[in-house]
Amino acid sequence: MSDALAGFEKPEDPDLLVGIETSDDAAVYRLSDDIAMINTVDFITPPVDDPYWFGQISAANSISDVYSMGGRPVTALNVVMFPSKHLDMGVLREILKGGHDKVIEAGACLVGGHSVDDNEPKYGLCVNGVVHPDRVITNAGAKPGDALVLTKPLGSGVLFNAVRAGKFEFKVLERETLPIIASLNGTAMQLALKYELHACTDVTGFGILGHSLEMALGCSKHIHIEYQALPFYSGAYEMYKRGETTGSNVANRALVARHTLVLSRTLTKEQEELLYDPQTSGGLLIALPADQAGELINEMHSAGLGVAVRIGEVTDEAVGLTVR
């Protein structure tokens, strides 16, 4: 979309605190000295066949953009595309129930929405949140000396495709992986805001390298990723070894290739593919002073976010990425 918007006149409004300039997760507009509103919209095709899981995952994915800006979700509107002539309306009800339950869990209000008849189901939310204008967290504020903390594993993209291809059991995915994917990022952000948080984004469709690159470009610094520290969902590596992939890996690789990427360690083809694997409702990627990272991770573990881990650092080098 950024290419399609190239050349459009940018808003000259001092109250627009976050627009499209740094490919951030949501827009932020100041309403008063104490309140700014966060606006975001996202919808996806079904990552799994189960309609209730689909609704939960999509809603968590949409709400995450408000959390990644440091905000609190307040209202949500359903965005629905559904083939009413081909699927039973009970399927739609289960999708909407999953979304409703996740919005309620987030402490927000589901207040309506819009639907159209389409050939393929799609579902998501337009989410509105609030944040103090002086406490907005963007993806562009990381500083040299910051540590990077990731709060969820990687590899959901290939697992979703592997289930569709019959190479991975849905029961295993449902038991081990879907509860993490569908979990909200609210607790992680609530804990992170107690620290000197410099930047944040959620890891979604561009994969860990794509979203790390956005953070590096936003702050004009260099990001180092420790491959051995990266958490992956069980089975993801094995699925790449069995020849499974996603429709986004090639595009994500091309996106990163436009900029400086240094692989300072030898990786197998499958290990590399995991770096470009697109996430749905992924974790937060948080930049904060290195001496605060350990305490934050310990707090996250105590709060049940056992996967939270330090995965890298920000340095004052030329803009780019290094995987070591």
Q: Is 291 annotated as a binding residue?
A: no
Q: What percent of the chain has pLDDT over 70?
A: 98
Note whether 105 and 240 are same-domain residues.
no
Whether 140 is in a domain gets the answer no
Q: How many of the other CB atoms lie within 10 Å of CB of 29?
A: 17
Question: Is 115 annotated as ligand-binding?
Answer: yes
Does the annotation place 88 within a ligand binding site?
Answer: no
Torsion of CA 307, 189, 126, 43, to 10 degrees: -20
Confidence of residue 21 (pLDDT cuts 50, 70, 90): confident
Q: What is the pLDDT of residue 2?
A: 61
Residue 262 sits in the same domain as residue 308: yes
In a domain, 7, yes or no: no
**Structure tokens of 230?**
């990266």
User: CATH code at 43?
Assistant: 3.30.1330.10
Residues 168 and 114 placed together within one structural domain of the fold: no
Q: How many helices (H) and strands (E) does the chain have?
A: 11, 13
Query: Is residue 67 in some structural domain?
Result: yes
Which two structure tokens, joined as six digits, stand for 87?
A: 């699927």
Contact by Cβ (8 Å): 116, 151: no
How far apart CA 151 and CA 231 sit, in angstroms, is 9
| Mean pLDDT to the nearest integer, 173-190 | 98
Between CA 221 and CA 215 the distance in angstroms is: 8
pLDDT tens, residue by residue, 232-264: 999 999 999 999 999 999 999 999 999 999 998
User: Residue 80 region, left (φ>0) first, then alpha (ψ -120 to 50), else beta?
Assistant: beta
Which tens digit of pLDDT belongs to each residue from 52-83?
999 999 999 999 999 999 999 999 999 999 99
Note the pLDDT tens digit of each residue in 93-143: 999 999 999 999 999 999 999 999 999 999 999 999 999 999 999 999 999
Q: How far is CA 257 from CA 250, 252, 253, 321, in A?
A: 10, 9, 6, 10
Does residue 113 have a known ligand-binding role? yes
- Note whether residue 274 is domain-resident: yes
The owner of tokens 């408000």 is 66
Structural domain contains residue 170: yes
Whether residues 94 and 167 share a domain: the answer is no
Query: Is residue 238 domain-shared with residue 293, that is, in the same domain?
Result: yes
Q: What is the DSSP letter of 18?
A: E
Q: How far apart are CA 218 and CA 1, in angstroms?
A: 18
Q: Could you read off the pLDDT of 204-238 as tens digits, one per residue?
A: 999 999 999 999 999 999 999 999 999 999 999 99
Q: Is 206 in the same domain as 129?
A: no
Q: Is 42 annotated among the ligand-binding residues? A: yes
156 token code pair? 């959901």
pTM, two decimal places: 0.94
Q: Do 115 and 173 lie in a common domain?
A: no
Does 218 map to a domain? yes
Structure confidence at residue 11 as a pLDDT band (50, 70, 90): confident
CA distance 68 to 230: 20
121 lies in the same domain as 79: yes
Query: 130 with 20, same domain?
Result: yes
Q: Is residue 155 part of a domain?
A: yes
Q: What is the CATH number of the domain that holds 191?
A: 3.90.650.10
Q: Which domain holds residue 237?
A: 146-323
Reported confidence tier of residue 1, pLDDT bands at 50, 70, 90: low
64: closest CA among 92, 102, 21?
Answer: 102
* Total count of domains within the chain: 2
Which among 103, 135, 167 is the end of a domain?
135
134 is in an annotated binding site: no
243 and 218 in a common domain: yes
Q: Has 277 been labeled as part of a binding site?
A: no
222 assigned binding-site residue = no
Residues 156 and 130 in one domain: no
Q: In this predicted structure, what is the pLDDT of residue 10?
A: 78
Write the CB contacts of 10 (distance below 8 Å, at least 6 apart in sequence).
19, 20, 21
Strand partners, 28: 18, 38
- Are the C-beta atoms of residues 34 and 133 closer than 8 Å to each other? yes
Whether 125 and 188 map to the same domain: the answer is: no
- Kindly state the average pLDDT of the residues 162-174: 97
Does residue 211 sit within a domain? yes
